[in-house]
């Protein structure tokens, strides 16, 4: 097997690829979602603690609180008489509260999904910018004699568009074509990609256009709004309480493939990721090869912010930090990147 770089991307890798404006990172999505929620019902955003100045990690924490409560309603219904005048007897005001809370919870969950599709669907990014960015990156990797595989926590399909426009075949785990809606079969994805000399592409948190129906994950075009008739969106929304062993089976399988990619990679290059994902960081710490995290910089000396450097080294003590602005006009300290790729 030829040596390869595993590129791990987060929201920052898509930010500069927007069609008319930058694609949202977590803080930007928080602002958009707050507006969408308050459009549905006044003060819903305030209920969830969403506002304009929310950091990405805090956004995940507050959504995580909501998902935790949202999942308890069925259990609460079963044991609601614990608070009644006697067992198996309840009061009407609790019934009314629970019905209202359930309805509002469903409204919030639907709005989150709708807004996610609107924010990260195909119409939000530029084919040309995606292609330019990944062409520039692969040119540098190719000069070092290295192939590339990709794992992303993003919901958009910027990587697919770029690879397709570049004429590069990839394996994303979906099988079926023509009149058959592609279905996800993640087990063995990496081995299939290597055997066919394709680029493995893992969406670790799902993607716009993915739906679960009848126990299967099906892939539909990502240029359409949320369509509940196709099933339940197959996405893992931001939630700092989620644990890998609690993931849906399809996500657990994808994370197992990710672990294989990390172990077999000659190098791991993290682009546009805040590292605010404990599961991902845990896997990166196990990488046998060198790991580099791309970071924002100040011109003209490629100076990376000291606080960001400190956080990278705290989470990944043996990692390198490489200045980079990933986009159609890719800017990076090429010497440092090329030195990393031959290390």
pTM: 0.92
CA 180 to mean position of chain CA atoms: 26
Tell the residue number behind the tokens 């409560």, with chain if given: 69
Q: Are 62 and 34 in contact (CB under 8 A)?
A: no
* Cis amide linkage into residue 300, ω under 30° from 0: yes
The residues near 236 (Cβ < 8 Å, ≥ 6 apart) are 204, 205, 206, 242, 247, 251
HEC readout, 269-325? EEECCCCCCHHHHHHHHCCCCCEEEEECEECCCCEECHHHHHHHHHHCCCCEEEEEE
Beta strands at 320-325 and 303-304: parallel, antiparallel or unpaired? unpaired
Q: Are 239 and 71 in contact (CB under 8 A)?
A: no
| Two structure tokens written together for 23 | 């694609």
pLDDT score for 207 = 97
Helices assigned H by DSSP within the chain = 26-40, 44-48, 56-70, 73-78, 92-120, 127-143, 158-165, 189-195, 249-264, 278-285, 306-315, 334-341
The residues near 256 (Cβ < 8 Å, ≥ 6 apart) are 187
Distance from C-alpha of 227 to C-alpha of 43, rounded to nearest angstrom: 26
SS3 237: coil
Q: What is the mean pLDDT of each successive set of 10 residues along the chain, which is 343 residues long?
A: 93 96 90 94 93 83 88 76 67 78 93 96 96 96 91 97 96 87 96 96 97 95 94 88 73 95 98 93 97 90 90 96 96 95 92
Phi and psi dihedrals of 196, rounded to 5?
A: -95, 5
Please, how many CA atoms are within 13 Å of residue 197, restricted to the half-sphere of its CB? 3
Q: Which of 311, 335, 266 is nearest to 57 (CA)?
A: 311
| Two structure tokens written together for 143 | 């000069």
pLDDT score for 92 = 64
In order of start, what are the domains of the chain with their CATH numbers? 4-21+125-341 (3.40.50), 26-122 (no CATH)
């Amino acid at each position: 097997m030829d040596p390869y770089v595993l590129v791990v991307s987060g929201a920052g890798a898509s930010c500069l690829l927007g069609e008319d404006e930058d694609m949202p990172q977590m803080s930007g999505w928080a602002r958009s979602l707050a507006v969408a929620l308050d459009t549905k019902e006044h003060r819903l955003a305030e209920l969830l603690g969403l506002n304009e100045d929310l950091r990405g990690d805090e956004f995940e924490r507050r959504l995580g609180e909501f998902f935790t409560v949202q999942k308890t309603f069925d259990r609460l219904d079963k044991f609601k008489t614990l608070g009644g005048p006697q067992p198996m007897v309840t009061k009407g005001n609790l019934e009314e509260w629970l019905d209202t809370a359930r309805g509002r919870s469903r409204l919030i969950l639907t709005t989150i999904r709708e807004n996610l599709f609107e924010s990260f669907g195909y119409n939000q990014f530029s084919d040309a910018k995606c292609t330019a960015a990944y062409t520039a990156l692969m040119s540098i990797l190719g000069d070092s004699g290295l192939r590339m595989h990709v794992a992303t926590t993003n919901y958009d399909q910027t990587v697919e568009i770029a690879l397709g426009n570049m004429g590069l075949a990839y394996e994303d785990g979906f099988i079926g074509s023509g009149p058959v809606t592609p279905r996800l079969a993640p087990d063995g994805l990496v081995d299939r990609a290597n055997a066919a000399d394709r680029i493995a592409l893992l969406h670790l948190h799902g993607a716009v256009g993915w739906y679960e129906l009848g126990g299967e994950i099906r892939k539909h075009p990502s240029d359409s709004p949320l369509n509940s008739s196709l099933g339940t969106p197959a996405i893992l929304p931001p939630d700092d309480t989620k644990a890998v062993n609690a993931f849906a089976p399809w996500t657990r399988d994808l994370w197992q493939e990710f672990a294989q990619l990390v172990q077999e990679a000659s190098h791991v290059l993290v682009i546009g990721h805040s590292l605010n994902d404990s599961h991902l960081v845990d896997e990166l710490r196990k990488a046998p090869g060198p790991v580099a995290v791309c970071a924002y910089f100040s011109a003209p000396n490629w100076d990376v912010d000291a606080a960001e450097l400190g956080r990278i080294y705290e989470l990944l003590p043996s990692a390198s930090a490489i200045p980079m602005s990933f986009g159609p006009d890719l800017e990076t300290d090429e010497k440092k990147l090329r030195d990393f790729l031959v290390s």
